[in-house]
Structure 1
Amino acid sequence: MKSSAVDPWSATMITPAVDLAVAPLFRKELTLDDGHGHVESAILRVSSLGVHDVRVNGAPVSDDVLSPGWSSYEWRLRYRTHDVSRLVANTTVVTALVGNGWHRGRLGFMAGRAFYGQRLGLIAELEVTFGDGHVQTVLTDDSWTAHPSDVLENDLYDGQTIDAGRRAAAWYEPGAQPDLTIPTIGIDFDTTRLAPYVGPPVTRQDVITPVAVWTSPSGRTLVDFGQNLVGWLRFTVRGPAGSEIRVRHAEVLEHDELGVRPLQDARATDRFILSGDSDFFEPTMTFHGFRYAEITGWPTAVAGELTPESLEAVVVHSRIERTGRFECSDPMLNQLHSNVVWGTKGNFLDLPTDCPQRNERLGWTGDISVFAPTAAYLFDVDSFLSDWLVDLALEQEHANGVVPFVVPDIFKMNPPVEGFGEPDSTAFWSDAAVWVPWALWQAYGDRSVLERQYPSMAAHVRRVRSLLSPTGLWDTSFQFGDWLDPDAPPENPYQAKADEGVVSTAALFRSATLVAETADVLGLEADAAEFSALALSTRTAFNEHYVAADGRVASDCPTVYSLAIVFGLLDAETSAAAGQRLAELVHDNAYRVSTGFAGTPYICDALAQTGHLDHAYRLLTERGCPSWLYPVTMGATTIWERWDSMLPDGTINPGEMTSFNHYALGAVADWMHRTIGGIAPLEPGYSRVHIAPRPGGGITWSKAALDTRHGTVEVCWKLSDDILTVTSTIPTGMTGVVSFDGQAEIHLGPGTYVHETPA
């Protein structure tokens, strides 16, 4: 991959001459050239093998943390550019603390580490421009030194150990001679791998103070922050030199103690060794998913009792701006929506991960495939997901068109995962190549994402076409299917009711249809015809082999009907029959959820589209397990991986795989935004907006708003005396269509409008 840099890099990737066994601190002292006037600008470009914290004269160069994040390092290592003009002085010290991060730390549940290399490294170029036009350039080379830092251990899964007694002010002071100076050496590194960020940096987003501090039955000190979040704790404390404070993190309590079993073998523990003076600790080279913390070794005799004022939690995620808001008269649904928002925050940390707490935290493609429309309403994720899609295309390009299960793909560096079969295209997961860019196109109306990703989109569908059986069905190769069907046994999430071939073939039809539409948008007539023909043949095969004359779909369960209806695989008469059967199944299951990852995002739409809106609302508002609101009744503040991640008696699901922060099942929020909130795009980017709230479920009012590229659209409605009053605001540059059941459409220009209709 060619570098996207304006200028090629001249710097060398450097590493300590010997492994320091702790996080190295790279250091360079420089003197600005004389006789050229004032400093006009000072620009620093920097990247690293590992995550870095860069300072100039002791001041951070920016507010980003965990840079350069995680990309497909084999082909793309991102760098950041910082304006440090305000920080440079006549004599300047540049330092960079480099930790293991994703480069050398643990990754995945296979007990592997250092997948990308054993050596940590730094590459940087400082360009200082003076008033007379003179340019002074400082590059990483063997004139830089390395020093053992105060970070003794650091790992994204296991935590960070900081020894305040090892800190030295001399690291940042000009003219100083830090102890234990180690030379640096250059290492072989292809600078054409360096590319600027497409997406935003990871930054500190919020600070939360504890809501309670107490002693558990076993005598341990526990802290509750009231919200499941992602980040770390920070505090200032004084205590005996050499004494240690330990902080262990977890999302839930079990039997009134920290519930750490779901973390699997991730230690999620930070250690802080005191200097005897006043010490500030903030472990910025790790992150944890937690609501609760267990504090051991707090120096009560010196610092006093641990109280909610003693520490704070720092919320960390990519800098994505909130764009969509939703609220209604049902407090339970409002909490569900809040849980979706917080699940997005916690898992949008540099890439869209499955979970942020256990020994996994991978960019699973299936999760974001179904969640992208929800994410694009809640936040501006255009550049965030576009950045990740670059890596998806790179991984796919180097795997013969196969979109992997996770991006970046670490599975290719390991023996095959037991049960996953030979790596190949997989429905819903590999479909991220098509569904995510399409979701961005619909949300933001910028066709450049389609232009950039079209080769990847087309390659995915062509790869799947090569896997079809002679019947034209995608019923071959490994599939996750309707993963985590609530009726599957806890120890075997594969055992869904939905026939895998039905799920996969439906997914292919949707992808082929979307790629055909994309080709049409881009003016690629031959490709549009090719993929339209594939979509038609897939639809024909689906109906021939999976759909009975009475509308029954093979395996006769909610997921297969939901996909067939929403993806458009059925004609009108058969769709109505399928909808009726789906409504019967939902009723017969007492409105408890019976779908997994594949069916859950679409079941409410399938019911509503076929005339069963009341069933959709009863399904959405059911509180028994499994349901969307059951976790809310159990105090959840994020979306769970399993419907019953915690059982009604307060014990954790006995399955080996359980997370309390998994956003995928929160994809129902997309339906809430469109159906309850009443806001949906009629054209990509909301140049035309569909305003069509459909009340139900006992909800008496709703407020929804979305910041689009054209401005903010708002829809508020209320029910009173059987009259539905809808107030809508359409910004300049947008037109709207208001729809009420059984009435003619109302076309609107910019402005604020009030419409009343019988409920």
Structure 2
Amino acid sequence: MLKVSDITCEYQKNPIGLGTKKPRFSWIIESDMQNVIQMSYRLQVSLDEKFKNIIWDTGVINSSKSVHIEYDGPDLRSFRRYFYRVKIMDNYGQESVWSDIGYFETALMDTSEWKAKFITPESEDEGNLSKGKYLRHEFVLDGEIDFARIYATALGMYEIYINGKRVGDDLLTPGWTSYKKRLQYQTYDITDLLVKGVNAVGAIVGAGWYKGDLAGWIGRRNVYGSRTALLVQMLIRYTDGREQIIVTDETWKASDSPILYSEIYHGEIYDARLEQSGWNLPNFDDNSWYAVDVINWDMSTLIPQEGLPVRRQEFIKPISMIITPKGEKVIDFGQNLAGWVKFTVRGKCGDKVVLKHAEVLDSEGNFYTENLRSAKQRIEYILKGYDAETFEPHFTFQGFRYVKIEEYPGEPSIDDFAAVVIHSDMKRIGKFTCSNELLNQLYHNIVWGLKSNFIDVPTDCPQRDERLGWTGDAQVFIETSCFIMNTALFFRKWLHDLKVDQLKNGGVPFVIPDVLGGHLENDKLIRQDHSSSGWGDAAVICPWTIYQFYDDVNILKEQYGSMKSWIEYIRANARDGIIWDSGFHFGDWLALDAKEGSYLGATPNDLIATAFYAYSTEILAKTAKILGNLSDYEEYLNLHDKIVKAFQDEFFTPSGRLAVRTQTAHVLVLMFNLVPDKYRARTIQTLIDLIDENNGHLTTGFLGTPYICHVLSNNGKTKEAYSLLLKEDYPSWLYQVKKGATTVWEHWDGIKPDGTMWSADMNSFNHYAYGSIGSWLYREIVGLNVDPEAPGFKHIIIKPKPGGDLTYAEAEYLSAYGRIFVSWSIGGGDITIDVAIPPNTKAKIILPHASSEAIETIRGVNVHFENCNDGAEAEIGSGTYKFIYPLTKFLAIEN
């Protein structure tokens, strides 16, 4: 059996609204044979579903490539649906049947095709208001409808309706980009919502990121503009071939809505008494509504949806309702999350529901909101007073586990409440589990940190008055995120904003989209508004990571100029172009070796900055080589060599001692290969000594923590890495778990051992940076690794490292080529290792502490192991395998 399945276009199944002129196709191969490799493929694109009007046929292409095959046919036209299919032949001579038919649909291929105008329901003096506004328009259709689409966006956020029904299920549209440079529009299929005769289109717009409160500690508002606006272009094709276009223009009308106030940080006030029944239906009396204004906007900024839309993902019911020692009535949802509360209520006209949201209870069990800073996280709903009324907010979201009911008509029941979990609509592709339940809970917490903070941009936290796309947080966590969900499109969109917000001199803002630049002059800590090491390096590390996981060369092509500009910025600001010892840096942020009252760890900025300079330069050199820029490759390879030599001269003594005696310093020099070979053993031993001096605990912050366990296990100290990971007392990952955490904290001691809180000024309990340990669970415990020479898991490296008190561990990962599975278990004096390798890939498997003569292959054929330094290794093809060998040597090493 040979089958092509799960065909996709630009990572998506049947996408509509694509703007790329050369979309790419991928597929997964299914086979019941082992060692299957695709030998050839044939791909067709047609204007019709029956493939009678084929516009591109590759013919038989002799290639094993099945990921990101680029369209190379005639120019694609706007507003068209194209169908595609593929068939393949394998190395056994089997030919598949044609795959199921997929399709993609183009949006506006040129901004000149926009006929609509931006219309605003707000006056020029409403910049400080955060009301939601209604917009509506009626139109007549005079034929049978074959095809109908809406292309829509807003300055602010919007919801759109056709004949009273909500269009699509996207949330917080159009998402957050650097609006004045890039504004996404969405495409919706409305064919089934329209009728012959009179129709109505309605919309609600709100402040959102465009004009609402941002960066609460510096109090920015109206960052991109002071008036919300809507843009809608509707295309209708009739069955007789005619087309009709409906657009936003001066003929639309506007009104106030029941949304009296809606802000990202602060929540929403909704007065149901102000609802206008039928406002988005035909034949509604809108004589009291007022005329809209048309506003100018640079239409060249408009781009089709790039990132994944934010959508409802889960509904969580409360686990209890408690009365706190202060007498507060509080709902516990059992999970820290990002989203909002959906509730149903009954009461009289004018009654209110008032809810406040928080992450934790204090040491006495009372509702705790001090760490929210100025964020109110408050929902107020005023009843209209009929039958049961159900409410969800529109243009806000909260980060919470606990909800305090401040006002409610009658006695609330937890059956009337549900938490709505929202995040960008990424596909879950990774799972991990093991025999240690605390470690399983840590993994759970890492996953929920991702869910809560990947809401259109990779935010630092979802609850306080911040929620910004901090570059440092994103780059330390990106590898872990790629193991858990398919984040390719999510990061591609964000990196495009990084590129356009990058300074002309190559500097990279601290947050993307950049809302801090030029507004930090009064900040007591931050002394400039861009370009810290470890933060700005997101410009290089993030696209490289996406390339490694998804074999997506396009992300390197698109970001290459940005990557190069970042390196050149550093070179221009470094001493002699080599040692970066100038400017402001966050350093090893929140490291435990910081001075009292400081957030900055003890590792000097010049060491950290130069270390990351070397690392990013090395990545840039590799990228240049991949893209065929050989002159750049030689230049940056040479620059990297100079940085490494200068670093060693600067930071190592003649006797081989690293001059900075911190854990993070030793971690970075080992991770980035900055240690002279003859001093490596000494450097590793000093790191072990530093951990021992801290009673076996880490002291690392944001930049040291992601690498510390990798450095230990990569240098023969797997036992010590496990010991660090499995610590249960403060400071450690499992300390948070033992304290009842359901997400990862910003501080190792967000809640201190005595139950008191870290300073309320910066204490998120849902902050994924330290969740970067997740990549170690996959890469080291289970041993699932990308081969840098064959990215995207085309060639897989499987090298499990059992240890600690674990008796089994397993991981599953859905790569671009299909499902990869790795597990190991210990029992009965043996180690058993199970793997599954998808068709069209190969793997190198290294069985730890094994002798080739002692390995028994229970499942899998033609496997020949050879002894190696780490045990025994073999090359295997696709299929499922089971290997068993004696435990003796492993136990000897562990003991």
Identify the TM-score tier after normalising by the shorter chain: over 0.9
Change (3 A) 1:207 1:424: closer
Shift in Å, 1:573: 2.6
Which range moves more in the overlay, 615-624 or 16-25?
A: 16-25
**CA separation in 2, counterparts of 1:105 and 1:600?**
35
- Residues 692-718 of structure 1 deviation map (CA, whole Å, 9 limit, x = unaligned): 110111111011011000001000110
Once the two structures are TM-superposed, the CA of residue 400 in structure 1 deviates from its matched residue by: 2.3
Query: Using a 3 Å threshold, how does the CA distance of structure 1 residues 207 and 401 change in structure 2: closer, same or farther?
Result: same
Q: CA deviation at 1:140?
A: 0.3
The aligned counterpart of 1:618 is 723
Q: Secondary structure at the match of 2:152?
A: strand
Query: What aligned pairs does 1:343-492 form with structure 2 within 5 A after superposition?
Result: 343-396=449-502, 398-416=503-521, 417-470=523-576, 472-488=578-594, 491-492=597-598
Please give the per-residue CA displacement for 1:154-180, whole angstroms capped at 9, x wherever unaligned. 000010011111112220221111474
* 1:269 equivalent in structure 2: 378
The structural deviation recorded for 1:743 is: 2.5
Measured in 2, the distance between the counterparts of 1:156 and 1:471 equals 42
Alignment-derived partner of residue 285 in structure 1: 395
Structure 2 counterpart of 1:47, from 153, 157, 168: 153
> Which runs of at least 4 in structure 1 moved beyond 4 Å after TM superposition?
none
Distance 1:550 1:239, change over 3 A: farther
1:172-187 matched pairs, under 5 angstroms = 172-178=280-286, 180-187=288-295
Distance 1:466 1:518, change over 3 A: same
Deviation at 1:415, TM superposition (A): 4.2
CA spacing shift, 1:333–1:550, aligned 2, 3 Å: farther
Q: 1:6 aligns with which of 93, 105, 109?
A: 109
Match of 1:223 in 2: 331
Change in Cα spacing, 1:724 to 1:151, as seen in structure 2 (3 Å) is same
Shift of 1:418: 3.1
Kept in 1: contact 2:371–2:760 (CA 8 A):
no
Please tell me whether the aligned partners of residues 520 and 527 of structure 2 are also in contact (alpha carbons under 8 angstroms).
no
1:147–1:221 Cα change, 3 Å? same
Q: CA deviation at 1:252?
A: 0.4
Q: Find the counterpart in structure 2 of residue 717 from structure 1.
A: 824
Partner of 1:751: 879
- Asked if the contact 2:540/2:563 (under 8 Å) is kept, the reply is yes
- Provide the secondary structure at the position in 1 that maps to 2:705: coil
Residue ranges of structure 2 left out of the alignment (5+ in a row) = 1-18, 21-107, 849-869, 891-895
Task: Say whether residues 1:562 and 2:654 are aligned partners.
Answer: no
CA 1:670–1:481 in 2, change beyond 3 Å: closer, same or farther? same
Alignment of 1:115-154 (within 5 A): 115-154=223-262
Contact residue 490 and residue 655 of structure 1 kept, 8 A: no
- The CA distance in 1 between the partners of 2:302 and 2:577, in whole Å, is 46
Cα distance, 1:399 vs. partner? 3.8
Q: Residue 494 of structure 2 aligns to a residue in which SS?
A: helix
Counterpart residue type for residue 282 of structure 1: E
User: What is the CA-CA distance between 1:414 and the residue it aligns to?
Assistant: 1.9
Deviations 1:116-163 (A, max 9, x none): 111010011001100111111011001000011110000000100111
Quick check: 1:82 aligned with 2:219? no
2:624 matched to 1:519? yes
Q: Which residue of 1 aligns with 2:413?
A: 307
Helix, strand or coil at the partner of 1:80 = strand
Residues 260, 490 of structure 1: alpha-carbon distance in 2 compared, 3 angstrom cutoff:
farther
Residue by residue over 1:288-326, the C-alpha shift from the partner in whole angstroms, topping out at 9 and shown as x without a partner, is 0000000122211xxxx3222111000011001111110
Give the aligned partner of residue 301 of structure 2. Answer: 193
State the distance in 1 between where 2:774 and 2:346 align. 46
Per the TM alignment, residue 240 of structure 1 is displaced from its structure 2 partner at its CA by 1.4
Quick one: distance in 2 between partners of 1:120 and 1:285?
13
Cross-structure match for 2:202: 95
Give how far 1:655 is off. Answer: 5.2
- Aligned residue for 2:154, secondary structure, equals strand
Amino acid at match of 2:109: V
Contact 2:201–2:281 under 8 Å retained in 1: no
Give the corresponding residue for 1:696.
Answer: 803
Residue 686 of structure 1 corresponds to which residue in structure 2? 793
Please report how far the alpha carbon of residue 490 of structure 1 lies from its aligned counterpart in structure 2 after TM superposition. Answer: 6.8
TM-score, structure 1 as length reference: 0.97
**In structure 1, how many angstroms separate the alpha carbons of the residues matched to 2:374 and 2:831?**
53
- Output the CA distance in 2 between the equivalents of 1:722 and 1:197: 55
Match of 2:843 among 719, 736, 741: 736
SS in 1 for 2:517: helix
- 1:242-261 deviations in Å (ceiling 9; x for gaps): 11111100000012221101
The percent of aligned pairs where both chains have the same amino acid is 38
Match of 1:342 in 2: 448
* 1:501 counterpart = 2:606: yes
For residues 52-81 of structure 1, the C-alpha deviation after alignment (integer angstroms, 9 at most, x for no partner) is 111111111101010011100120111001
Instruction: State the match for 2:635 in structure 1.
Output: 530
Residue 66 (str. 1) matches residue 172 (str. 2): yes
Query: Is contact 2:352–2:382 with CA below 8 Å preserved after alignment?
Result: yes
**CA distance in structure 1 between the aligned counterparts of 2:151 and 2:245, rounded to whole angstroms:** 11
3-state SS in 1 of match to 2:403: strand
Q: Is the 8 A contact 1:170 1:176 kept in 2?
A: yes
Give the 3-state SS of the residue equivalent to 1:113 in structure 2: coil
The Cα shift of 1:6 comes to: 1.2
Bigger mean CA offset, 533-542 vs 173-182: 173-182
Indicate if the aligned counterparts of 1:248 and 1:293 stay in contact, CA closer than 8 A: yes
Structure 2 SS opposite 1:96: strand
* Distance across 2 between alignment mates of 1:218 and 1:498: 44
Distance in 1, matches of 2:220 and 2:624, equals 41
Contact 1:587–1:615, Cα closer than 8 Å, also in 2: no
Deviates more, 1:429-438 or 1:190-199: 190-199
The answer to whether the 8 Å contact 2:667/2:707 transfers is yes
User: Which of residues 532, 554, 572 in structure 1 aligns to 2:677?
Assistant: 572
Q: Judge conservation of contact 1:147–1:179 (CA < 8 Å) in 2.
A: no
The answer (yes or no) to whether the contact 1:248–1:270 under 8 Å persists in 2 is: yes
Match of 1:298 among 404, 408, 413: 408
- Tell me the C-alpha RMSD between the 2 structures: 1.4
**C-alpha distance in 1 between matches for 2:821 and 2:667:** 29
Q: Report the CA distance between 1:424 and its aligned residue.
A: 4.2
Residue 739 of structure 1: SS of its match in structure 2?
Answer: strand
Letter in 2 for 1:185: D
Tell me, what secondary structure is at the counterpart of 2:466?
A: coil
Q: Which moved more, 1:268-277 or 1:735-744?
A: 735-744
Residues in 2 aligned to 1:197 and 1:308: alpha-carbon distance in whole angstroms: 38
Counterpart Cα distance in 1 of 2:625 and 2:762: 42
Q: How many residues in Structure 1 have an aligned counterpart in Structure 2?
A: 748
What's the secondary structure of 2:871's corresponding residue?
coil
Matches of 1:40 and 1:327 in 2, distance apart? 49
Contact 1:424–1:477 under 8 Å retained in 2: no
| 8 Å CA contact 1:231, 1:316 repeated in 2 | yes
Alignment match of 2:322 (pick from 214, 229, 240)? 214
Q: SS where residue 193 of structure 2 aligns?
A: coil
Change (3 A) 1:524 1:324: same
Task: Give runs of aligned pairs for residues 240-251 of structure 1, distance below 5 A.
Answer: 240-251=348-359
Q: Is the 8 A contact 2:516 2:529 kept in 1?
A: no
Q: Contact (CA 8 Å) 2:213, 2:222: kept in 1 or not? A: yes
Query: Distance between the aligned counterparts of 1:280 and 1:166, measured in 2?
Result: 15
